[in-house]
């Protein structure tokens, strides 16, 4: 009888111990982990100059851009070093949810759909949507999206530009005007879409205006349409894993300082300048 009792007490104690250690493990927030590991892991998709792009620095491939500068400043405020993971845009949020990155800055628009899975900071940069076409087609679609009604539109996979193409490019026939545009080519990497545009497989690519301006500047055979589109979520925000309140607040505080001291505009201006010199 005594023995049975003792066993029961033992197993209760074990249970309590497991419970306690679980809650202790849970208590370590991402913010605390970043501070103790002294590393902030950024997830991004570096095909988006001037936001984030590859360049050669001292003979070494390096990822730069104003998102990277912002992330570096955020890391510095936390006493951490910035580690960059480059991936496809449509894999970024999953990387955040699984914990393989701590933060995402990738010119990402905070949409309601994305908000179901991650938390967003305040918007740190705004831009309209530009349309890149072939210069040879200037007469067809440079001044109005109407000419694109039955054309193939390129948009990066998993981006809001896919939705913009669907709603903003109207059909040719009267009966199609309210229907979503059907011919959309989605690829994971933007440079591949630009190649498809150059070779005639797609007829226009929709992308944030500063990025569009940059691609047009480096490709003589491409130009910008004279019109732009707006998106309702309007701008870029950083994303963190849902529920990581302390991290979210810390990033917002850093972003706020960077905004009010004019640093974000400076980072953007110098990133735009450095792309122009490439």
Nearer to ligand ARG, 99 or 234 (CB): 234
Nearer to ligand ARG, 110 or 147 (CB): 110
Q: Find out whether 233 and 56 touch, Cβ atoms under 8 Å.
A: no
Nearer to ligand ARG, 106 or 205 (CB): 106
Which residue has 């005594």 as its token pair? 2
| Torsion on CA atoms 164, 206, 87, 26, rounded to nearest 10 | -30
Nearer to ligand ARG, 66 or 141 (CB): 66
Least CB distance to ligand ARG at residue 110 (A): 8
As a whole number of angstroms, the distance between CA 159 and CA 92 comes to 11
Least CB distance to ligand ARG at residue 235 (A): 9
Which residue has 């735009």 as its token pair? 272
Least CB distance to ligand ARG at residue 220 (A): 23
The residues with which 60 forms a beta bridge, in sequence order, are 57
Least CB distance to ligand ARG at residue 140 (A): 26
- Angstrom CA distances, 119 to 16, 18, 113, 185, stand at 33, 30, 11, 29
Nearer to ligand ARG, 130 or 145 (CB): 130
End-to-end CA distance of the chain: 83
Q: By the criterion CB under 6 A, which residues form the site for ligand ARG?
A: 45, 47-48, 51-52, 89, 106-109, 156, 159-160, 190, 208
Least CB distance to ligand ARG at residue 13 (A): 51
Beta strands in 160-226 (DSSP E): 184-187, 204-208, 222-224
């Amino acid at each position: 009888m005594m023995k049975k009792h003792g066993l029961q007490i033992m197993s209760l104690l074990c249970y309590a111990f497991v419970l306690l250690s679980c809650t202790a493990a849970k208590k370590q927030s991402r913010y605390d982990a970043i501070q103790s590991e002294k590393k902030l892991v950024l997830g991004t998709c570096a095909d988006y100059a001037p936001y984030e792009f590859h360049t050669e620095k001292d003979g070494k491939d390096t990822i730069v851009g104003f998102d990277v500068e912002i992330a570096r400043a955020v890391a510095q405020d936390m006493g951490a070093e910035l580690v960059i993971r480059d991936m496809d845009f449509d894999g970024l949020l999953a990387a955040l949810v699984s914990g393989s990155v701590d933060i995402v800055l990738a010119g990402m628009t905070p949409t309601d759909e994305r908000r179901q899975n991650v938390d967003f900071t305040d918007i740190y940069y705004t831009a309209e949507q530009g349309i890149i076409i072939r210069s040879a087609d200037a007469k067809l679609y440079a001044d109005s999206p109407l000419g694109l009604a039955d054309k193939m539109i390129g948009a990066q996979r998993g981006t809001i530009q896919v939705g913009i193409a669907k709603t903003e490019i109207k059909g040719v026939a009267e009966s199609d005007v309210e229907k979503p545009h059907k011919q959309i080519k989605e690829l994971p990497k933007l440079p591949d879409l630009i190649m498809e545009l150059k070779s005639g497989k797609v007829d226009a690519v929709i992308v944030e205006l500063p990025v569009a301006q940059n691609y047009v500047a480096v490709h003589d055979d491409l130009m910008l349409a004279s019109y732009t589109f707006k998106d309702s979520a309007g701008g870029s925000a950083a994303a963190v894993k849902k529920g990581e309140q302390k991290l979210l607040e810390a990033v917002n505080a850093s972003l706020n300082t960077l905004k009010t001291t004019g640093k974000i505009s400076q980072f953007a201006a110098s990133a735009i300048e450095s792309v122009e010199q490439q």
